[in-house]
C-alpha cells in the first residue's frame, strides 16, 4: 500500500479519556487511488486528515507513506508537516485575496526557477480549466472557480498525497456534483493519491475508489462502494448508506429446503444462495435482515400487501414508506409512473440479491 494507517489513534488534550477523537483506525490506499471518509459530524474525519498531514500527533499507531514512516506513536517519529509533501484543500477556499489567481497557484512553488514556475502555474491553470482567469483576483471568480484554484494551488508543488476536507460543501448541489466528477478526472489525470472527507453519500460514491464509514472515531468499514452498499459490515454502515430498514427474520435450515429460502420474513422467504448465514450464527436463529428500498418491488400480483404511509418524489421514482399488515415498516423505490395514493394498499415483493443479517437488537 502507498499510504497505510495502522491502528491510528488521536486524543485531544482535555478530550474524553474513554473516547479518543480517532480510535484504532487502519486503512490502506494504493498509489493513485482516491479514498473517501464519510460519517456524521464529529466522528473524527477532520482529525484523521490532520493526523495524516502531521498537524496532530498520534496517541497510538503508525502512518506510513511510500515506504517512509511519517508518524509512529511508539517510537515517537513525527515528520514535520512541511516535510511530508502533502497538499491540503479545505472547505473555505482560503485563497489569498490580495494575490492574483496565478500568484495564488504559484504560492507553493516559490522555490522553482522563474521559467519553471510560470510553466507549472500555466499547467495547473490549464488542468482546472481556468487559464483565462490567471490575472483576476479571487473575488472575481465564482465559488466553484475559487475551489478549482484552491485545487490547482494544492497540486502545483506535486504533493505525494492530497487531502481534501469537505471541499465542496460551500457550493450548491448541482455544482457540487459536477465539480466532484471534474476533480476526480483531474486527480486521475495527474495520478494523485488523495484522501477526501465528505458528509455527502453521492459525492463519496462519485469520487471514491475506496470509501470508509466512520462513527465515534472508529472506521466501521473500508471498502468499495458496492461492498459498502450490498455487504455492510455493521448496522451503522447499513443504516448510514442508502435507504433501508431492518426487519425481524428467522433463519431455519430445515425450513429452508421446503420453502426455498433461508431467511423467513414478513415478506416471505429470502434467498441468498451464495452467503446464506447459518442459523447457529444467531440465538434461536432470530436476527434482523436489512431491506433496502431497492430490494422491495411493487407487484400488483403479489399476495403480500402493504399500506403507503408516506411518499417522496425523487424524479424518476418515488420513495414509498410502507407498512405491512403485520406491523413491519419497509421502504420501496417505485417508478414514478405508478402514482399510488397515501393510504392505498399495494402489492409488494422482496427481491434481495444479498441477504444481510445482523444480531437482533431490542428496540
Ligand atoms: P468531523 O470532522 O468528523 O466532524 P472532528 O475530527 O472535527 O470531526 O472532531 C472529532 C471529535 O474531536 C469531536 O468530538 C470534536 O468535538 C473533537 N475535537 C475536534 N477538534 C478538537 C480540538 N481542537 N480540541 C478538542 N477536541 C476536538
Ligand atoms: Mg470536519
Looking at ligand 1, which residue's alpha carbon is closest to its atom 15? 42
Which contacts qualify for 277-284: CB closer than 8 Å, 24 or more apart?
277/251, 277/355, 277/357, 278/251, 278/253, 279/251, 279/252, 279/253, 281/251, 281/357, 282/251, 282/357, 282/359, 282/360
Q: How many other C-beta atoms can be found within 10 angstroms of the C-beta atom of residue 13?
A: 4
Ligand 2 centre to CA of 255 (Å) is 49
Which ligand 1 atom is at minimum distance from the Cα of 22? 10
Q: Which residues contact 225 (CB under 8 A, 6 or more apart)?
A: 204, 205, 208, 211
* pLDDT, one tens digit for every residue, the chain (363 residues): 999 999 999 999 887 777 899 999 999 999 999 999 999 999 999 999 999 999 999 999 999 999 999 999 999 999 999 999 999 998 776 899 999 999 999 998 999 999 999 999 999 999 889 999 999 999 999 988 998 999 999 999 999 999 999 988 877 877 888 888 888 998 998 899 999 999 888 889 889 999 999 999 999 999 999 899 888 999 999 988 887 889 999 887 666 555 556 788 888 888 765 566 666 778 888 999 999 998 999 999 999 999 999 999 888 889 999 999 989 999 999 988 888 999 999 999 999 888 888 988 865
Q: Is the CB of 176 under 6 A from ligand 1?
A: no
Ligand positioned closest to the Cα atom of 47: 1
Distance 21 CA to ligand 1 centre (A): 6
Q: Helix, strand, coil proportions of the chain in percent (round to 5)?
A: 30, 30, 40
Distance 22 CA to ligand 1 centre (A): 9
| HSE-CB of 277 using CA atoms within 13 angstroms | 24
Q: Which ligand lies nearest to the CA atom of residue 40 in the structure?
A: 1
Tell me which residue has its CA closest to atom 24 in ligand 1.
Answer: 12
Q: Is 213 in the pocket of ligand 1 (CB under 6 A)?
A: no
pLDDT digits (tens, 9 = 90+) for 255-303: 655 555 678 888 888 876 556 666 677 888 899 999 999 899 999 999 9
DSSP assignment string, 19-62: S-SEEEEEEEE-TT-EEEEE-STTSSHHHHHHHHHTSS--SEEE
CATH for the 243-358 domain, from 3.30.420.40, 3.40.50.300, 2.40.50.140, 3.40.1440.10: 2.40.50.140
Q: How far is the CA of 268 from the centre of ligand 1 (A)?
A: 45
- Asked if 245 and 330 count as a contact pair (C-beta separation under 8 A), the reply is yes
Range 3-235 classified under CATH 1.20.58.340? no
Tell whether ligand 1 has an atom less than 6 A from the beta carbon of residue 46.
yes
Q: Cα separation of 49 and 87, whole Å?
A: 11
Residue nearest to atom 5 of ligand 1 (CA): 44
Decide: 15 in ligand 1 pocket, CB within 6 A: yes
Q: Looking at ligand 1, which atom is closest to the CA of residue 41?
A: 4
Domain ranges for the chain: 3-235, 243-358
Establish whether residue 47 lines the binding site of ligand 1, counting it when its CB lies within 6 angstroms of any ligand atom: yes
Amino acid at each position: 500500500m502507498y499510504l497505510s494507517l495502522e491502528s491510528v489513534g488521536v486524543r485531544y488534550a482535555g478530550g474524553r479519556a474513554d473516547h479518543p477523537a480517532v480510535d484504532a483506525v487502519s486503512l490502506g490506499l494504493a498509489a493513485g487511488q482516491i479514498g473517501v471518509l464519510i460519517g456524521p459530524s464529529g466522528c473524527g474525519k477532520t482529525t484523521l486528515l490532520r493526523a495524516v498531514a502531521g498537524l496532530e500527533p498520534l496517541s497510538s499507531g503508525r502512518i506510513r507513506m511510500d515506504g517512509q514512516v511519517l508518524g509512529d506513536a511508539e517510537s515517537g517519529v513525527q515528520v514535520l508537516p512541511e516535510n511530508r509533501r502533502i497538499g491540503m484543500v479545505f472547505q473555505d477556499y482560503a485563497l489569498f485575496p490580495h494575490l492574483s489567481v496565478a500568484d495564488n497557484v504559484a504560492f507553493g512553488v516559490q522555490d522553482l526557477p522563474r521559467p519553471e514556475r510560470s510553466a507549472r502555474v500555466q499547467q495547473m491553470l490549464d488542468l482546472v480549466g481556468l487559464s483565462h482567469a490567471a490575472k483576476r483576483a479571487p473575488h472575481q471568480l465564482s465559488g466553484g472557480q475559487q475551489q478549482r484554484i484552491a485545487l490547482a494551488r494544492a497540486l502545483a508543488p506535486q504533493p505525494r498525497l492530497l487531502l481534501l476536507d469537505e471541499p465542496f460543501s460551500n457550493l450548491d448541489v448541482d455544482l457540487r456534483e459536477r465539480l466532484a466528477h471534474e476533480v476526480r478526472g483531474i486527480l486521475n489525470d495527474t495520478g494523485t493519491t488523495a484522501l477526501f472527507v465528505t458528509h455527502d453519500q453521492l459525492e463519496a460514491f462519485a469520487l471514491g475508489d475506496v470509501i470508509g464509514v466512520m462513527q465515534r472515531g472508529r472506521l466501521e468499514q473500508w471498502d468499495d462502494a458496492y461492498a459498502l452498499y450490498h455487504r455492510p459490515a455493521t448496522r451503522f454502515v447499513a443504516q448510514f448508506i442508502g435507504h433501508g430498514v431492518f426487519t425481524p427474520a428467522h433463519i431455519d435450515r430445515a425450513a429452508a429446503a421446503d420453502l426455498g429460502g433461508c431467511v423467513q420474513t414478513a415478506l416471505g422467504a429470502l434467498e441468498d444462495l451464495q452467503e446464506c448465514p447459518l442459523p447457529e450464527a444467531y440465538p434461536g436463529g432470530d436476527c434482523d435482515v436489512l431491506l433496502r428500498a431497492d430490494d422491495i418491488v411493487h407487484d400488483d400480483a403479489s399476495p403480500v400487501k402493504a399500506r403507503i404511509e408516506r411518499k417522496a418524489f425523487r424524479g424518476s421514482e418515488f420513495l414509498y414508506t410502507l407498512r405491512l399488515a403485520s406491523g413491519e415498516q419497509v421502504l420501496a423505490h417505485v417508478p414514478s409512473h405508478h402514482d399510488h395514493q397515501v393510504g392505498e394498499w399495494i402489492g409488494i415483493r422482496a427481491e434481495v440479491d444479498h441477504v444481510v443479517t445482523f444480531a437482533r437488537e431490542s428496540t
